Amino acid sequence: GAVVSQHPSRVICKSGTSVKIECRSLDFQATTMFWYRQFPKQSLMLMATSNEGSKATYEQGVEKDKFLINHASLTLSTLTVTSAHPEDSSFYICSAQGALNTGELFFGEGSRLTVL
């Protein structure tokens, strides 16, 4: 199956700093990428939809200025958590959808963010 890579897999940062997480589609071009957030023992919650070359679409309740998303190329989307706080500590997962959509999404391995 298609491969989606996320980096870093784990990151620990101090409160107030910004953290960037990368999501790459390794063997296909992803016209659309999605960013999810998952708290322990909770389901994945969609944060935003990222389309190559255009602004991301955020879900209700997700702060645009807090979670900056950039989808500069067909293989890379980044999520930057700005001025991180302990409550931002979570598991962030991206998924990618190819141009020839079959309805299937391919997920990255996830990035665990811990804000001290």
* Residues forming the site for other proteins (CB under 8 A): 1, 4, 6, 32, 34, 41-46, 49, 91, 93, 95, 97, 101-110, 112
Q: Rounded to 5 degrees, what angle do the CA atoms 2, 72, 62 make?
A: 85
In angstroms, give the least distance from the CB of 59 to other proteins.
Answer: 8
- Asked if omega into 8 is within 30° of 0 (cis), the reply is yes
As measured in angstroms, the least distance from the Cβ of 110 to other proteins is: 5
Is 59 or 82 the residue whose CB approaches other proteins more closely? 59
Q: Which of 55, 35, 52 is nearest to 44 (CA)?
A: 35
Q: Which residues pair with 20 in a beta bridge?
A: 80
Q: Minimal distance in Å, beta carbon 16 to other proteins? A: 26
By beta-carbon proximity to other proteins, the closer residue of 19 and 105 is 105
Structure tokens at 106: 């391919």
